[in-house]
Amino acid sequence: MHPTAPREDAQPSPLFAPLGDALLPAESRLSPAALRQRRSMKWATHGADVLPAFVAEMDLAPPLCVQEAIADVAARGDYGYPPHLATGAPHPLALAHAARMAALYGFEPEPDLGVPIADLVQALYLCVAAFTDPGDCVLIQEPIYPPIRAAVLDQGRQVATLPMRADGQGPALSAAELDARLPNRTRLLLLCNPHNPTGHVATRPQLDALASLCLSRDMVVVSDEIHADLVFDGRAHVPLAALGAEIGACTVTLVSGTKAFNIPALSAGLMQFGSGGLKQRFAARIPLKGLGLANAFGVAATLAGWARGDEWLDRLRTYLQAARDHVQRRLAAEVPGIGFAAPQATYMAWLDLSALDLPGPAASVLLERGRIALSAGERFLPGGTAFARFNFAAAPELLDPLVDALVAACRTR
């Protein structure tokens, strides 16, 4: 086993682990040995000598209310079709989402305009197909979660980019500068807020400027807000569709509990259309019957999390914020050449390793030298080989070994 890999009998690190154990809900703690038994992408992709810090999964168990909801479905063997298919009533996810938005933001979307989906990447692809034609241009942020770019290019559309600052402070262009650069056939904005991978949380003025730009160009907006529950430092997430009736009417909001409650494979989310006309426009090209069904376990888990998981989410945010700050302090002291801008949300950090002059793509070098797996920067940004995305949602015992491996890899010559 590689020196930086956790032993199965690993003891808590003298650095972060005691703090992490104090912050983390007891039901969410998983040992390194338990994690090594997992068959998810994060733990099954690499060998036992590699520490994984790439795919967006947390090394934490979901809250007890979520686990109980899943167990209840299984105990009842309740795997039948959902009743809304027969009654035509709004889906329970749409009703719960509307209530949650009202409670958190004073904004209540119409449940009848909420369409359950199994996969948010599928929704991205279908929205590109529904609201653009081949040769049209789609505006995306850059760097960006790779499926967002793929949803555009795979379908013969053109990409226009809004550069995001590597320091996590948001767009590198004003709305006026962006407007001057956009092709006339820009029909759609695929917005990721909170932003993956920089962790930026868009402010109200930033969103107002983007909304004005989209309205002036008659653009549809698809707003991916699946990390909205993971915002730090007292910041507030602002749903784009809540800015007003006009921008709301041309916005499709993508929401899910899969990131916040760490249930990504349970396949349940919601496309929330901001107006009946927008939903009809989508359905004219993409029959709603073709979307399939949200997974019954995922629906039950999401409903439980939204209804009873807020206290757990508060503790999770405290834990993730402490982990973020710990990593930032260690890297600043031990490898100051790494650009680490504390993300304002999510549990991923966008690392800039350009000052280290590594002899190849950063993620590849780190894997070879340190046996630590990060997401390759070039997947998020064309030519971005000097960047890597680091997942710090680690178990308490693993956070310092991850940083140790990263530091050792950067110091090796």
User: Which residues, given as ranges, of the chain have pLDDT below 70?
Assistant: 1-14, 413
Identify the pLDDT of residue 86.
87
Residues 336 and 194 in one domain: no
Residues 26 and 96 in one domain: no
- Residue 377 within a domain: yes
Q: How many domains does the chain have?
A: 2
Tell which of 308, 334, 367 closes a domain: 308
Identify the pLDDT of residue 9.
40
Tell which of 274, 308, 342 closes a domain: 308
Residues 54 and 141 in one domain: no
- Residue 207 within a domain: yes
Identify the pLDDT of residue 14.
56
d(CA 242, CA 227): 17
Residues 75 and 32 in one domain: no
d(CA 276, CA 92): 19
Residues 44 and 157 in one domain: no
From the number of C-beta atoms within 10 Å of its C-beta (0-12, 13-18, 19+), residue 193 rates as buried
The CA-atom distances, in angstroms, between 83 and each of 91, 97, 178, 266, 305 are 9, 18, 46, 19, 21
Eight-state DSSP code of residue 160: E
Whichever domain contains 186, its CATH number is: 3.40.640.10
- Residue 7 within a domain: no
d(CA 350, CA 213): 27
Identify the pLDDT of residue 412.
76
Q: Which residues of 289-328 are buried (b: 16+ CB within 10 A; e: fewer)?
A: eebeebbbbbbbbbbbbbeebeebbeebbebbbbbbebbb
Residues 179 and 250 in one domain: yes
Residues 146 and 284 in one domain: yes
* Six-digit token string for 400: 């310092």
Tell which of 308, 334, 360 closes a domain: 308
Identify the pLDDT of residue 198.
98
Residues 47 and 80 in one domain: no
Whichever domain contains 343, its CATH number is: 3.90.1150.10
Eight-state DSSP code of residue 128: H
| Nearest-5° Cα angle at 341, 335 to 343 | 130
Enclosing domain of residue 26? 17-63+310-411
Residues 405 and 393 in one domain: yes
Tell me the residue ranges of DSSP E strands in 104-207: 114-117, 137-142, 158-163, 186-192
Identify the pLDDT of residue 292.
87
Identify the pLDDT of residue 12.
42
- Residue 278 within a domain: yes
Residues 28 and 154 in one domain: no
- Residue 36 within a domain: yes
- Residue 5 within a domain: no
Answer whether 409's CB lies under 8 Å from 372's CB.
yes
